[in-house]
Amino acid sequence: MQYDKVNWQNQEKTKINSFVNDFIIKEIILKKKGSNVKIFDIGFGIGFFLWMLEKNLPKSFKDITLEGCEPSYKNYKYFKQKPFDFKKIKLRTFNNTFLETKTEVKFDFLTAVYVFPHFEFDELEETAEKINGMLNGNGKFILVVANEKYLKEKLKAKKDLFIEENTIKFNGKDHQEILHYSEVPQIGTIIDYNREEKFYVELFKEKGFNLESKIDLDDSGFICTVFVFGKN
Ligand SMILES: C[S@@+](CC[C@H](N)C(=O)[O-])C[C@H]1O[C@@H](n2cnc3c(N)ncnc32)[C@H](O)[C@@H]1O
Protein backbone atom coordinates (compact mmCIF):
# COMPACT_ATOMS: atom_id res chain seq x y z
CA MET A 1 0.00 0.00 0.00
CA GLN A 2 1.79 3.10 -1.29
CA TYR A 3 -0.02 5.34 1.25
CA ASP A 4 1.73 3.66 4.16
CA LYS A 5 4.99 5.11 2.75
CA VAL A 6 4.01 8.77 2.18
CA ASN A 7 3.21 11.49 4.72
CA TRP A 8 -0.46 12.08 3.95
CA GLN A 9 -0.85 13.38 7.53
CA ASN A 10 0.91 16.57 6.32
CA GLN A 11 -2.37 17.42 4.61
CA GLU A 12 -3.34 18.91 7.97
CA LYS A 13 -0.57 21.49 7.41
CA THR A 14 -0.72 22.00 3.64
CA LYS A 15 -4.56 21.82 3.46
CA ILE A 16 -4.26 20.23 0.04
CA ASN A 17 -7.72 19.50 -1.48
CA SER A 18 -9.52 21.96 0.82
CA PHE A 19 -10.45 24.09 -2.21
CA VAL A 20 -12.21 21.26 -4.04
CA ASN A 21 -13.73 19.88 -0.82
CA ASP A 22 -15.15 23.32 -0.07
CA PHE A 23 -16.66 23.49 -3.56
CA ILE A 24 -18.29 20.06 -3.12
CA ILE A 25 -19.76 21.02 0.25
CA LYS A 26 -21.06 24.48 -0.66
CA GLU A 27 -22.10 23.97 -4.28
CA ILE A 28 -23.42 20.43 -4.13
CA ILE A 29 -24.05 18.93 -0.68
CA LEU A 30 -25.51 22.00 1.07
CA LYS A 31 -27.94 22.41 -1.85
CA LYS A 32 -29.71 19.20 -0.80
CA LYS A 33 -33.17 19.89 0.63
CA GLY A 34 -34.48 18.42 3.89
CA SER A 35 -33.01 18.04 7.36
CA ASN A 36 -31.11 14.80 6.84
CA VAL A 37 -28.10 13.82 4.77
CA LYS A 38 -26.11 10.62 4.27
CA ILE A 39 -22.66 10.68 2.70
CA PHE A 40 -20.07 7.96 1.98
CA ASP A 41 -16.48 9.08 1.24
CA ILE A 42 -14.45 6.52 -0.74
CA GLY A 43 -10.74 6.48 0.25
CA PHE A 44 -10.96 9.19 2.92
CA GLY A 45 -7.20 9.36 3.55
CA ILE A 46 -6.63 10.99 6.96
CA GLY A 47 -10.30 12.10 6.96
CA PHE A 48 -9.71 15.69 5.88
CA PHE A 49 -13.02 15.85 3.97
CA LEU A 50 -14.87 14.13 6.85
CA TRP A 51 -13.60 16.85 9.22
CA MET A 52 -14.74 19.57 6.80
CA LEU A 53 -18.16 17.91 6.66
CA GLU A 54 -18.23 17.67 10.46
CA LYS A 55 -17.65 21.43 10.62
CA ASN A 56 -20.07 22.50 7.85
CA LEU A 57 -23.04 20.14 7.87
CA PRO A 58 -24.58 20.65 11.34
CA LYS A 59 -25.56 24.25 10.40
CA SER A 60 -27.81 22.92 7.63
CA PHE A 61 -28.82 19.38 8.62
CA LYS A 62 -30.13 17.80 11.83
CA ASP A 63 -29.73 14.14 11.03
CA ILE A 64 -26.28 13.42 9.57
CA THR A 65 -24.77 10.04 8.67
CA LEU A 66 -21.19 9.85 7.44
CA GLU A 67 -19.47 6.68 6.38
CA GLY A 68 -16.21 6.09 4.58
CA CYS A 69 -13.48 3.60 3.84
CA GLU A 70 -9.71 3.90 3.82
CA PRO A 71 -7.45 0.90 3.17
CA SER A 72 -4.17 2.42 4.41
CA TYR A 73 -3.91 1.51 8.10
CA LYS A 74 -1.54 4.44 8.66
CA ASN A 75 -4.11 6.95 7.33
CA TYR A 76 -7.04 5.18 8.97
CA LYS A 77 -5.36 5.10 12.40
CA TYR A 78 -4.45 8.80 12.10
CA PHE A 79 -8.12 9.69 11.57
CA LYS A 80 -9.35 7.42 14.37
CA GLN A 81 -6.97 8.97 16.92
CA LYS A 82 -8.40 12.46 16.42
CA PRO A 83 -11.52 13.75 18.16
CA PHE A 84 -14.83 13.74 16.26
CA ASP A 85 -18.24 15.13 17.21
CA PHE A 86 -20.30 11.95 17.61
CA LYS A 87 -23.13 13.92 19.27
CA LYS A 88 -24.01 15.66 16.02
CA ILE A 89 -22.98 13.02 13.49
CA LYS A 90 -23.44 9.27 13.08
CA LEU A 91 -20.06 8.06 11.83
CA ARG A 92 -18.96 4.63 10.62
CA THR A 93 -15.57 3.97 9.06
CA PHE A 94 -13.98 0.91 7.49
CA ASN A 95 -10.27 0.10 7.22
CA ASN A 96 -10.90 -1.57 3.86
CA THR A 97 -10.77 -1.01 0.14
CA PHE A 98 -14.05 0.16 -1.36
CA LEU A 99 -14.89 -3.20 -2.92
CA GLU A 100 -14.30 -4.97 0.43
CA THR A 101 -16.58 -2.55 2.33
CA LYS A 102 -20.05 -3.73 3.34
CA THR A 103 -22.77 -1.31 4.45
CA GLU A 104 -26.57 -1.51 4.18
CA VAL A 105 -27.14 2.27 4.24
CA LYS A 106 -28.41 4.04 1.07
CA PHE A 107 -26.64 7.37 0.63
CA ASP A 108 -27.49 10.78 -0.86
CA PHE A 109 -23.88 11.28 -1.95
CA LEU A 110 -20.85 9.12 -2.58
CA THR A 111 -17.60 11.02 -3.06
CA ALA A 112 -14.23 9.93 -4.47
CA VAL A 113 -11.63 12.71 -4.28
CA TYR A 114 -8.46 11.64 -6.15
CA VAL A 115 -9.15 7.97 -5.44
CA PHE A 116 -10.13 6.60 -8.87
CA PRO A 117 -6.55 7.16 -10.17
CA HIS A 118 -5.58 4.32 -7.80
CA PHE A 119 -8.15 1.81 -9.02
CA GLU A 120 -7.05 -0.74 -11.58
CA PHE A 121 -9.00 -0.72 -14.82
CA ASP A 122 -10.40 -4.20 -14.19
CA GLU A 123 -12.08 -3.18 -10.91
CA LEU A 124 -13.86 -0.12 -12.32
CA GLU A 125 -17.02 -1.81 -13.62
CA GLU A 126 -17.70 -3.52 -10.29
CA THR A 127 -16.88 -0.25 -8.49
CA ALA A 128 -19.40 1.73 -10.58
CA GLU A 129 -22.09 -0.94 -10.01
CA LYS A 130 -21.43 -0.88 -6.27
CA ILE A 131 -21.69 2.92 -6.18
CA ASN A 132 -25.05 2.71 -7.96
CA GLY A 133 -26.31 0.15 -5.43
CA MET A 134 -25.25 2.29 -2.45
CA LEU A 135 -27.05 5.46 -3.63
CA ASN A 136 -30.71 6.21 -3.00
CA GLY A 137 -33.02 7.11 -5.92
CA ASN A 138 -31.94 10.77 -6.08
CA GLY A 139 -28.38 10.06 -5.03
CA LYS A 140 -25.34 11.59 -6.67
CA PHE A 141 -21.81 10.37 -7.20
CA ILE A 142 -19.08 13.03 -7.11
CA LEU A 143 -15.84 12.05 -8.82
CA VAL A 144 -12.71 14.22 -8.66
CA VAL A 145 -9.64 13.54 -10.82
CA ALA A 146 -6.79 15.66 -12.16
CA ASN A 147 -7.88 17.57 -15.26
CA GLU A 148 -6.97 15.64 -18.40
CA LYS A 149 -5.50 18.57 -20.40
CA TYR A 150 -3.64 19.98 -17.41
CA LEU A 151 -2.06 16.60 -16.74
CA LYS A 152 -1.04 16.04 -20.38
CA GLU A 153 0.75 19.41 -20.42
CA LYS A 154 2.47 18.58 -17.15
CA LEU A 155 3.65 15.19 -18.41
CA LYS A 156 4.99 16.88 -21.57
CA ALA A 157 6.95 19.36 -19.49
CA LYS A 158 8.21 16.85 -16.89
CA LYS A 159 8.97 13.70 -18.85
CA ASP A 160 10.36 11.82 -15.83
CA LEU A 161 6.84 11.66 -14.33
CA PHE A 162 5.62 9.42 -17.17
CA ILE A 163 5.64 5.65 -16.54
CA GLU A 164 3.59 3.98 -19.29
CA GLU A 165 0.66 4.38 -21.63
CA ASN A 166 -2.07 1.78 -22.22
CA THR A 167 -5.18 1.54 -24.34
CA ILE A 168 -8.24 0.44 -22.39
CA LYS A 169 -11.24 -1.00 -24.20
CA PHE A 170 -14.74 -0.28 -22.98
CA ASN A 171 -18.01 -0.83 -24.88
CA GLY A 172 -16.08 -1.41 -28.09
CA LYS A 173 -14.25 1.92 -27.80
CA ASP A 174 -10.59 2.60 -27.12
CA HIS A 175 -9.52 5.02 -24.37
CA GLN A 176 -6.11 6.18 -23.27
CA GLU A 177 -4.77 5.39 -19.80
CA ILE A 178 -1.46 6.85 -18.59
CA LEU A 179 0.37 5.61 -15.52
CA HIS A 180 2.50 8.37 -13.98
CA TYR A 181 4.10 9.72 -10.83
CA SER A 182 2.40 12.60 -8.96
CA GLU A 183 4.52 14.74 -6.68
CA VAL A 184 2.38 16.00 -3.81
CA PRO A 185 4.10 18.86 -1.95
CA GLN A 186 5.26 17.94 1.58
CA ILE A 187 3.49 14.58 1.27
CA GLY A 188 5.48 12.49 -1.21
CA THR A 189 5.35 10.86 -4.63
CA ILE A 190 2.47 8.58 -5.54
CA ILE A 191 1.60 6.61 -8.66
CA ASP A 192 -1.66 7.41 -10.48
CA TYR A 193 -3.64 6.22 -13.49
CA ASN A 194 -4.97 9.06 -15.59
CA ARG A 195 -7.84 8.05 -17.84
CA GLU A 196 -9.63 10.06 -20.50
CA GLU A 197 -12.70 11.96 -19.29
CA LYS A 198 -14.84 10.37 -21.99
CA PHE A 199 -14.04 6.95 -20.51
CA TYR A 200 -15.51 7.87 -17.10
CA VAL A 201 -18.61 9.36 -18.77
CA GLU A 202 -19.05 6.16 -20.81
CA LEU A 203 -18.48 3.88 -17.79
CA PHE A 204 -21.03 5.60 -15.56
CA LYS A 205 -23.58 5.91 -18.38
CA GLU A 206 -23.35 2.16 -18.88
CA LYS A 207 -23.88 1.60 -15.13
CA GLY A 208 -27.11 3.62 -14.85
CA PHE A 209 -25.95 7.20 -14.34
CA ASN A 210 -26.15 10.41 -16.31
CA LEU A 211 -23.59 13.20 -16.17
CA GLU A 212 -25.30 16.17 -14.49
CA SER A 213 -22.32 18.50 -14.54
CA LYS A 214 -18.59 18.60 -15.12
CA ILE A 215 -16.61 21.46 -13.64
CA ASP A 216 -12.91 22.31 -13.96
CA LEU A 217 -11.47 23.95 -10.86
CA ASP A 218 -8.16 25.77 -10.62
CA ASP A 219 -6.66 25.41 -7.15
CA SER A 220 -3.57 27.66 -7.17
CA GLY A 221 -2.48 26.37 -10.59
CA PHE A 222 -3.44 22.71 -10.10
CA ILE A 223 -6.51 21.96 -12.20
CA CYS A 224 -8.96 19.20 -11.39
CA THR A 225 -12.24 18.02 -12.90
CA VAL A 226 -15.31 17.41 -10.76
CA PHE A 227 -17.95 15.12 -12.32
CA VAL A 228 -21.41 14.97 -10.79
CA PHE A 229 -23.31 11.84 -11.83
CA GLY A 230 -26.99 11.33 -10.98
CA LYS A 231 -28.86 8.03 -11.10
CA ASN A 232 -31.15 7.44 -14.11
C1 LIG B 1 -4.74 10.92 -3.10
S2 LIG B 1 -5.35 10.15 -1.65
C3 LIG B 1 -6.79 11.11 -1.35
C4 LIG B 1 -7.32 10.99 0.04
C5 LIG B 1 -8.58 11.79 0.31
N6 LIG B 1 -9.68 11.41 -0.56
C7 LIG B 1 -8.30 13.25 0.20
O8 LIG B 1 -8.81 13.90 -0.74
O9 LIG B 1 -7.55 13.76 1.02
C10 LIG B 1 -6.01 8.61 -2.24
C11 LIG B 1 -6.54 7.68 -1.16
O12 LIG B 1 -7.19 6.57 -1.80
C13 LIG B 1 -6.98 5.43 -0.99
N14 LIG B 1 -7.20 4.21 -1.78
C15 LIG B 1 -6.32 3.56 -2.58
N16 LIG B 1 -6.88 2.44 -3.09
C17 LIG B 1 -8.16 2.41 -2.61
C18 LIG B 1 -9.26 1.48 -2.75
N19 LIG B 1 -9.14 0.39 -3.52
N20 LIG B 1 -10.41 1.74 -2.08
C21 LIG B 1 -10.53 2.85 -1.32
N22 LIG B 1 -9.53 3.75 -1.16
C23 LIG B 1 -8.37 3.54 -1.79
C24 LIG B 1 -5.54 5.59 -0.52
O25 LIG B 1 -5.24 4.79 0.60
C26 LIG B 1 -5.48 7.10 -0.24
O27 LIG B 1 -5.76 7.41 1.09
Over residues 71-97, the pLDDT tens digits come to 999 999 999 999 999 999 999 999 999
Q: What is the pLDDT of residue 14?
A: 86
Atom of ligand 1 nearest to the CA of 48: 9
- C-alpha 58 – ligand 1 centre gap (Å): 25
Q: DSSP 3-state assignment of 104?
A: coil
Distance CA 47, CA 18 (A): 12
Residue 127 Cβ < 6 Å to ligand 1: no
The answer on pLDDT for 31 being more than 80 is: yes
From 14, 40, 70, 115, the mutation candidate for ligand 1 (largest count of ligand atoms within 8 A of CB) is 115
Could you tell me the pLDDT band of residue 187, with boundaries at 50, 70 and 90? confident
Residue 42 Cβ < 6 Å to ligand 1: yes
Q: Is the dihedral of CA 20, 21, 24, 30 positive or negative?
A: negative
Share of the chain above pLDDT 70, in %: 100
What are the pLDDT digits (tens) for 190-212? 999 999 999 999 999 999 999 99
Task: List alpha helices for the chain, DSSP H.
Answer: 11-14, 18-23, 48-56, 73-81, 124-134, 148-157, 197-206
What are the pLDDT digits (tens) for 33-56? 999 999 999 999 999 999 999 999
Hey, whose CA ends up nearest to atom 9 of ligand 1? Answer: 45
